[in-house]
């Protein structure tokens, strides 16, 4: 087992045992990280966008209103990335992009609820899940939930084990309520342009370790993960003007579309509507591996999906000893699916 897989397994185990902190950096490294983080924050503040993310909740895919069955119920949870911070139009948010894509693929309307909060850490997921499951007047339980979380845990010095513990508790509640769960794992903060070395290297290492541990925890609870860090990191670093927004921290509309392209196949497949390839995939694109090894591989392969091999765990929380690592082909969202308006169809 690789060192990354071992560290991820230790973090996930510590989370399961109560979330005790597992440090991955010494005191001197933490001091350097914080010093450079404060410098980067000052450089970022000049272009900061403090506006609230646009509200994208609503019904998508009205063109399919006559389709049999009720609309899919899709919920987004997490931090500013899930909320769509940094774009001006509701149709540019990841929730709107995913709702429109799911409606187009399934030819069935999609009702979107987004409870993500800018600045949220994993500790806020308990509140967000309660909003979806217990708030009076809220629509029925979502069919599928997409979570994007982790960046603020890194910058806020939340221990990886505690971060994964909060995520595990949220996923367990959603799965118990009958929701399918897809988690976009921790993004790569090392791609943020103003961040200099050695902070860039440290941030990338921390983000990948957390993403791998998140993957283990989610898969063992019957959810699926999509690796965003290795996918978005190189692309964002290579095209910062196009994929970052005005604040040089949050994604631009094009950046959110890139993330949605990675998440959409897994989202659709989770509810059984993603079209199967006519030809079987090459063996190298699908592998059954131990969960920790699959998690470590996924964070290095952009857009990788990890799910439990042989189905979700049985009642009682039995761990899935092996996982399916799937390297999906990325498909670009059609133009009409990248600029939707709630209720306008796709």
Q: Which two tokens stand for residue 240?
A: 């910062």
What distances in angstroms separate CA 3 from CA 11, 58, 134, 208, 282, one per listed residue? 12, 44, 41, 12, 28
Q: Which two tokens stand for residue 125?
A: 């997921």
Catalytic residue at 247?
yes
Distance CA 46, CA 30 (A): 25
Which position among 118, 123, 168, 250 bears the catalytic label?
250
19 HSE (CA, 13 A, CB side):
13
**DSSP state string for 135-200:** STTPPSPPSEEEEE--HHHHHTT--HHHHHHHHHHHHHHHHHTT-EEEEE----GGG-TTPPTTHH
Burial (0-12, 13-18, 19+ Cβ within 10 Å), 157: exposed
Catalytic residue at 250?
yes
Which position among 57, 247, 300, 339 bears the catalytic label?
247
Beta-bridge partner residues of 78:
148
Residue holding tokens 């692309």? 235
Distance CA 319, CA 305 (A): 18
Which position among 79, 80, 106, 123 bears the catalytic label?
80
Q: Pick left, alpha or beta for residue 134 (phi over 0 → left; psi -120 to 50 → alpha; otherwise beta).
A: alpha
Cα angle 241, 98, 131 (rounded to 5 degrees) comes to 110
| Of 305, 299, 233, residue with least CA distance to 262 | 305
179: which residues sit within 8 A by CB, 6+ positions away? 75, 141, 142, 143, 144, 145
275: which residues sit within 8 A by CB, 6+ positions away? 105
Distance CA 252, CA 259 (A): 11
Question: In 3-state terms, what secondary structure has residue 72?
Answer: strand
Q: Which residues are catalytic?
A: 80, 247, 250
């Amino acid at each position: 087992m690789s060192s990354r897989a071992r560290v991820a397994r230790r973090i996930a185990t510590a989370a399961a045992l109560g979330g005790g902190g597992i440090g991955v950096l010494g005191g001197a490294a933490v001091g350097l990280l914080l010093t450079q983080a404060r410098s980067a924050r000052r450089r970022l503040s000049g272009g900061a966008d403090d506006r609230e993310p646009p509200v994208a909740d609503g019904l998508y895919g009205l063109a399919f209103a006559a389709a049999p069955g009720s609309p899919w119920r899709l919920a987004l949870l997490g931090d500013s990335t899930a909320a769509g911070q940094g774009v001006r139009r509701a149709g540019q948010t990841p929730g709107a992009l995913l709702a429109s894509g799911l409606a187009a693929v399934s030819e069935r309307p999609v009702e979107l609820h987004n409870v993500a909060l800018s600045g949220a850490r994993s500790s806020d997921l308990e509140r967000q899940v309660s909003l979806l499951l217990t708030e009076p007047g809220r629509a029925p339980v979502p069919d599928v939930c997409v979570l994007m979380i982790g960046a603020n845990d890194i910058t806020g010095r939340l221990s990886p084990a505690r971060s994964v513990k909060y995520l595990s508790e949220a996923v367990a509640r959603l799965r118990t309520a009958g929701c399918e769960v897809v988690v976009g794992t921790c993004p790569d903060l090392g791609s943020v342009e103003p961040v200099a070395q050695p902070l860039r290297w440290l941030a990338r290492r921390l983000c990948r370790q957390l993403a791998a541990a998140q993957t283990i925890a989610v898969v063992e609870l019957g959810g699926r993960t999509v690796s965003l860090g290795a996918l978005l990191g190189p692309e964002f670093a290579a095209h910062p003007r196009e994929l970052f927004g005005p604040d040089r921290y949050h994604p631009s509309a094009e950046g959110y579309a890139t993330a949605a392209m990675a998440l959409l196949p897994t989202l659709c497949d989770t509810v059984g509507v993603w079209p199967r390839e006519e030809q079987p995939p090459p063996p190298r694109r699908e592998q059954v591996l131990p969960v920790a090894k699959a998690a470590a591989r996924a964070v290095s392969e952009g857009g990788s999906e990890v799910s439990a091999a042989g189905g979700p765990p049985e009642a009682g929380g039995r761990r899935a000893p092996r996982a399916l690592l799937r390297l999906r082909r990325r498909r670009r969202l059609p133009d009409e699916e990248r600029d939707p308006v709630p209720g306008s169809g796709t």
